[in-house]
Structure 1
Amino acid sequence: MSHIPPLDPRVAAKKGFRESEERLKRFWKDASVAPDGEGHVVLLDGRAPKTPAHARMVLPTEAAARLVADEWAAQGEFIEPGTMPATRLAATAIDRVSQTREPVADEIASYVGSDLLCYLAEHPTNLVAEQARDWAPWRHWAGAELGVHVEATQGIIHRPQPPETLARVKTLALELDDFALTGLATAVPLFGSAILGLAVQRGALSGAAAFEISRLDEAFQERQWGVDADNAERTEARRAEAALLDRWFRAL
């Protein structure tokens, strides 16, 4: 989402994250967590790494801090930012989302205005049946459990959702703390669906299950025409991101 650009978790021993293209060598032996006020801090040989804005890496729960610390512990000789998604989420929550909660919530709400689960195929019959089986229950869940009432349509012509639906999603987003809001803001565009993002955030769906539901059309086309190697690689990367988001929400 535009208000939370990705952040590279590159860190120097005392200066925290660095904006540099050079490969940074691992400088610590032990990654651990410790209580810090009402949260938990990540420690590298007893020192807290900094975010790109030079804030301390303090997370709301021990489990979330452990998720980040495990990424630091798993690094080899050189730091590989692409292997540290939880660290990136934490830094984004601390540095960016905490300062832009309202616009981030607006962007999340905008997704329900064109939610993937509301645009149904007109044909072929098999795809129509699969969408009815896998998508309709989650539209119903959103209405019954969250008060998010959406209207489905067939075809790709945009059908606006009621303003109160967007307002309700924004309210739900703003009820979250910065860390959960960051996760939701990442999950919603990944799935193309505010409903699926909220379902994962609330534990009604696993990240893996939500991802498979979100790519139902894509999987249908693959069964018809085969799997492209490049697309398969991208799919695996997105699937891994969905699994990480599930762990992130459960840790909060």
Structure 2
Amino acid sequence: MIMGSHYGSCTMSSSHAPIRLWYEDVTISDEAPYALLLDGRTAHTSSGITLAHKSYMFMQQIQKEWQRQDTFLVLHTLPLTRLLSGFLEMDADVRLGFFEELYNYSQHELLCYQADAYTPLAQQQQRSWQPWLEWGKEIYGHPWQTTHSIMPIVQSQALIDAIKAYLATLCDVQIFCYTILTQSLGSYLITDALLRSICPPEEALACAWLEHDTHMAQWGDDPELQEKRTQLAHQIRDVLIFHGASL
């Protein structure tokens, strides 16, 4: 089996044509790192890397993903497999790209760009976002500049240096998970609090989805947005599972 993936832009590289199942038995190897076996044969990423992990319990969850497939392989129902594959294929160049992407997100932090004052959205942002901006100030030792304009703002050099210093301490697993969630949530700061186990997943989702939720509260539910919100909640769950099993 060859699983193609690339999480530099949080995408999956694979044929869009349906893939008919070619295996019957899904097992896990007996020794760590535990590999996924399809009909007794080791599964690999598109680069030929063995699809394996140090945690047997984590690999059991991947095993269940493959056991649930029926007739055709449905890639979006293999989220943990895709995360593991993407991580295993992360080389030095991809890691550097992730580092730079996280830095860029931190310099254009979602929470720093707020709606016009006195609007319902601005009031919601003040209640939901301001505590995390204060937390970010405490963690990094410097305040985050905010604006009600769409014009870009420049954070202080002291804050920039503190963020760079922290990013330099992250291991490969952390860099990978930070990048995936920051891309999806649109916020480095919320991702930071989430992966430090300070911000609960439900609150992280609510902060990232605040504008959409406020809009729907005013104008009614949007089924398409609700579906995207549900998908994001599932992705947060899956990344936290991978993050916890891999550290």
Q: Does 1:101 align with 2:106?
A: no
Q: Quick check: 1:50–1:56 contact (8 Å CA) kept in 2?
A: yes
Structure-2 residue corresponding to 1:14 = none
Counterpart selection for 1:210 from 204, 209, 230:
204
**Unmatched runs of 5 consecutive residues or more in structure 2:** 1-5
Which moves more between the two structures, 106-115 or 119-128? 119-128
Per the alignment, in what secondary structure is the counterpart of residue 100 of structure 2? helix
Structure-2 residue corresponding to 1:192 = 186
- Counterpart mapping for 1:107-146 below 5 A: 107-146=101-140
Q: Does 1:151 align with 2:156?
A: no
Note closer, same or farther for the CA distance 1:20–1:120 as it changes in structure 2 (3 Å cut): closer
Q: Quick check: 2:23–2:39 contact (8 Å CA) kept in 1?
A: no
**Among the aligned pairs, what percent are the same residue?**
21
Note closer, same or farther for the CA distance 1:171–1:40 as it changes in structure 2 (3 Å cut): farther
RMSD, aligned α-carbons: 2.6
Letter aligned with residue 196 of structure 1: I
Letter aligned with residue 27 of structure 2: A
TM (norm. structure 1) is 0.82
Q: Quick check: 2:10–2:183 contact (8 Å CA) kept in 1?
A: no
Aligned length: 241
Distance in 1, matches of 2:93 and 2:20, equals 29
Q: Quick check: 1:207–1:245 contact (8 Å CA) kept in 2?
A: no
Q: Quick check: 1:6–1:92 contact (8 Å CA) kept in 2?
A: no
Counterpart selection for 2:175 from 168, 178, 181:
181
Q: Does 1:247 align with 2:232?
A: no
TM (norm. structure 2) is 0.84
**Unmatched runs of 5 consecutive residues or more in structure 1:** 11-18
Q: Quick check: 2:43–2:51 contact (8 Å CA) kept in 1?
A: yes
Letter aligned with residue 41 of structure 2: R
Structure-1 residue corresponding to 2:3 = none
Counterpart selection for 1:237 from 202, 206, 231:
231
Q: Quick check: 2:83–2:239 contact (8 Å CA) kept in 1?
A: no
Q: Does 1:161 align with 2:155?
A: yes
